[in-house]
Amino acid sequence: MKTKRSKWDPNSIRAVSLMYFMVFAAVILLMVWFMQSFFMNTYYERMMAQEAQTTANKLGNYYSTNKDNFDAYARKAADRNGLYIRLETADSTSEYGNSGLSQGDIPHYQFEISDAKDKLAKSSLGKISLTVTEKGNKASRLVYATYLGNRDDGNILYMIAPLYPVESTISILRSQLLYITFITLMIASMLAIIMSTWLSLPIASITKSAVQLSNGNYNVNFNGGIFTETNELARTLNKASYEMQKTDSYQRDLIANVSHDLKTPLTMIKSYAEMINDISGDNPEKRAEHLAVIIAEADRLNKLVSDMLSASRLQSNSAELNMTKFDIVKAATEVEETFEVLNQQEGYNISFNKCKTAYVYGDYDKLKQVMANLISNAIKYCGKDKYVRIELKKVGRNVRFDVIDHGDGIAAEEISHVWERYYRTSANRNRNIEGTGLGLSIVKGILSLHNANYGVESEEGKGSDFWFELATVKK
């Protein structure tokens, strides 16, 4: 049943992206408003003080090196920076800029000059900087004074910078900030919508494909768009879809194989039981022969059921290990002896090369099952020469078990799949070979539980070598 999605989901990528973009823009704008409203005066005064000190240093250098042209230079500096400049020497007083007063006129900054002169005389730095604000008037002025040359010469340079434009500047900036705030919020909203759309489109596409996959369409393709993360997700889901398709195919093959493998022994058991009942019941020889067939077919059924149960337990991680210390050479010999009858009755050439005693720590019965499965697998696919070589040898601190045959071999691209359940290589897919396809899967599960190294080395047309290694322990 499909659920109807609301038009606006507060938990959606679009909604969350929009919210975060808006919050980010709001924080930036609040910081700008706060800085302009509360720190503009302080910042402006600090900058004016730095500018006054820089200008004073330049004027001082110019006065000491080019005194004849100082008036022109000072007037130019005052006009350029909007300053009132006053130079007092032992012989004269000169004023420049700001108020438009000519030399010799009474300056209207007399109070500031007098106050600055008193504070400069008390200062040990040879310079002072102060802000003067008139009562009942928001207008304020920055006053800067410093000695030119030695203090004893009595040459004092004053500079006064009006600070009254700050309030009007703040008002203008606030008006501009209103427009900037509106534009910023609009841009943030547009960016949020664009980004959330770019982010949500590949996710929505992946979700749509995932719905098709959940409905059993394993041929669906996942597209991750332009982002690395969604591309990685799409690649993973495409791989998962491929693996699910393979598993589904293997399961269908398993059902067909199991149905066939179960049907054959059941038919044989029924047929021979009827023959005993109708024909050979009074003939001990025939009866024993028919009963032997029934027993053999029952063993086949038992083997099928055991393999399926073992595979199920290994897959569900419910298999338990009975760990003991034992001689793996002895265990391998016992396994190999069960296949000796094939040498005698069916013309197989099964050889066994073994090392001296080697003790390992593991599950005795399950490792014997691993060796039996590997030998049985080699016998099934050993080729026309019916050659199988079993080797057990020490390699450093490990003991290695190999089963080698001269069969058709395995294609390089299929080697990684031979340990999968139900898998049968393309070279052997059409051969009438009994089995559920679970043997190597069981081998892999048991060896993984033992943390053992294992693998297969194979070449098409030359056979295969299935092997595993276990660490040896002291007796």
- Specify the pLDDT at position 55: 84
Residue of 322, 302, 402 whose CA lies nearest to 366: 322
| Range 107-119 average pLDDT | 79
DSSP label of 472: B
- Specify the pLDDT at position 457: 92
Residue 139 clears pLDDT 70, i.e. is over it: no
- Residue-wise pLDDT for 299-341, tens only, equals 777 877 777 777 666 666 667 788 999 999 999 999 999 888 8
- Specify the pLDDT at position 428: 55
Q: How many helices (H) and strands (E) does the chain have?
A: 11, 12
- Specify the pLDDT at position 137: 56
Q: Which burial class, exposed, middle or buried, applies to 380 when counting CB atoms under 10 A from its CB (0-12, 13-18, 19+)?
A: middle
Planar angle of CA 165, 171, 173, nearest 5 degrees: 100
- Residue-wise pLDDT for 36-77, tens only, equals 666 666 677 677 778 877 888 888 888 888 888 888 888 888
Band of pLDDT at residue 2, cut at 50, 70 and 90? very low
- Residue-wise pLDDT for 188-227, tens only, equals 778 877 877 777 788 888 888 888 888 888 788 888 877 7
What sign does the dihedral 203-209-213-219 (CA atoms) show? negative
Residue 247 clears pLDDT 50, i.e. is over it: yes
- For residue 236, the tally of other CB atoms under 10 A from its CB is 12
Residue 456 clears pLDDT 90, i.e. is over it: yes
- Specify the pLDDT at position 288: 82
* Alpha-helical runs (H) found in 215-283: 228-278
| Range 406-412 average pLDDT | 86
Lateral strand order in the sheet of 349-354: 349-354, 387-395, 398-405, 463-471, 453-459
Locus of tokens 């054959």: 264
pLDDT winner (highest mean) among 250-259, 293-302, 351-360: 351-360
Q: Which amino acid is at 237?
A: L
Tokens of 78: 């005052």
Residue 465 clears pLDDT 90, i.e. is over it: yes
- Specify the pLDDT at position 151: 81
Residue of 370, 365, 359 whose CA lies nearest to 326: 359
| Range 18-45 average pLDDT | 75
| Range 110-132 average pLDDT | 85
Residue of 374, 388, 297 whose CA lies nearest to 342: 388
Planar angle of CA 175, 181, 182, nearest 5 degrees: 100
- Specify the pLDDT at position 401: 96
- Specify the pLDDT at position 325: 95
- Specify the pLDDT at position 423: 65
Locus of tokens 């013309």: 347
DSSP symbols for 14-32: HHHHHHHHHHHHHHHHHHH
